[in-house]
Amino acid sequence: MKAWVWGCAWLLCLAGWGCTGGQDGEADGSDGSDGSDGSDDGAGTVYRVVIEPGAQACAGFKIQRTAAQELALRARVQLPAQTLELRPDMQAQPELFTGLEIGGPDPAQAAATSAAELSHARETFLGGFCDRFQVQQAFSFQAGAHQASLSLRLSFCTREGVPDPTELRFDADQVGEPPRDLVDDRRQVELELLLDAGTDYLTQKQTLTSCSLSQAGAYALAIGLEGGESIEATRRFQPPRMGTGAAALTWARVTLGGESLVVDSPFRLAYGADLHNRGERFLVVLEPPLGEVHGVHWQEVEQGDVSGPPTHVQLLGADLDPTQPLAERVVTSYVETPP
């Protein structure tokens, strides 16, 4: 048993993960005892973080949460244009986060309550090392009644003397790197938002990613409802290699009672799903409302080992509670067109 555990740990080290060294470059194995020759310890390496004008990040989804829970945890942060040069030995308080908004459908503006703090750690493994930087900053919102913390973690790894990458770019559509499989832990960029104690998975933890998911495929949804009403929507989805794929509802047009409304605000569109993107659920907030209807909600129906199209759409009142809708509409047609 011990030999099996040691073998697994060795494989993790070989892959470049899970072998933790000291802080600020004082890593175990820097003398070459990790199997490398120790000739290139990366001491003079400079990493670049290029933040282009309009760079932003928005809350993604986490499995098991309802669409209503996802709506309440919608968030967006702006990143001011600049180029940061990061070194393992640097001390800095970078101006990195501006315009943090929290909570849908009417977000609250958050105010910084501390400077951004930069920290560094190095992890060594057989044949290389990873420099990991973290920028963390505290905020408050809703007149100081609630607290929030933003943490941006950046990883730059060197294998066999070759760094990959040495630069990460942020813009309006991309948060440092393309969106990945939700179970892929080899992320170069992680942007996490914690609310209050930050311990409750359903209500206090959120990961921020691309606002548009523009690098994921756009799936067009057309839902016909009884009485000639309809919903059109765009679901961005990146099919995963395994696990659960990145996904978001990014646009919708709702037609009820002869009136139509287009919604594209990330604070009025919510997507939820379970593992493997099963049981997908969607919530669209209508502002202004269409008559008495303030929102619409629909979700896939479980059919054995797969999820099937929704059979009903819930019309929501001002409380936006899908469990107590104003009314329901029968789905008469459902078409999903892949990209």
User: 71-98 pLDDT, tens per residue?
Assistant: 999 999 999 999 999 999 888 889 999 9
CA 140 to centroid of chain Cα atoms: 21
Q: Looking at residue 90, what is its pLDDT?
A: 85
| Pair of tokens at residue 193 | 């938002």
Identify the helix (H) or strand (E) that includes residue 325.
Answer: none
Q: Looking at residue 322, what is its pLDDT?
A: 97
Q: Looking at residue 39, what is its pLDDT?
A: 39
Q: Looking at residue 41, what is its pLDDT?
A: 61
Parse the chain into domains and list their residue ranges.
20-28+45-209, 217-337
Highest mean pLDDT among 13-27, 90-104, 278-292: 278-292
Window from 12-16, 138-142, 199-203 with minimum mean pLDDT: 12-16
**292 pLDDT higher than 70:** yes
Task: Considering only residues 247 and 184, tell me which one the structure prediction assigns the higher pLDDT.
Answer: 247
Q: Looking at residue 55, what is its pLDDT?
A: 97
pTM for the whole thing?
A: 0.84
**116 pLDDT higher than 70:** yes
Window from 27-36, 60-69, 78-87, 198-207 with minimum mean pLDDT: 27-36
What mean pLDDT is predicted for residues 232-245?
92
Q: Looking at residue 307, what is its pLDDT?
A: 82
Count of beta carbons in the 10 Å neighbourhood of residue 207: 17
Q: How far apart are CA 133 and CA 128, in angstroms?
A: 17
Q: Looking at residue 40, what is its pLDDT?
A: 54
Task: Considering only residues 67 and 21, tell me which one the structure prediction assigns the higher pLDDT.
Answer: 67
Residue 196 to residues 23, 140, 201: CA-CA distances in angstroms?
A: 28, 9, 12
**Apex CA 214: angle with CA 211 and CA 215, to 5°?**
125
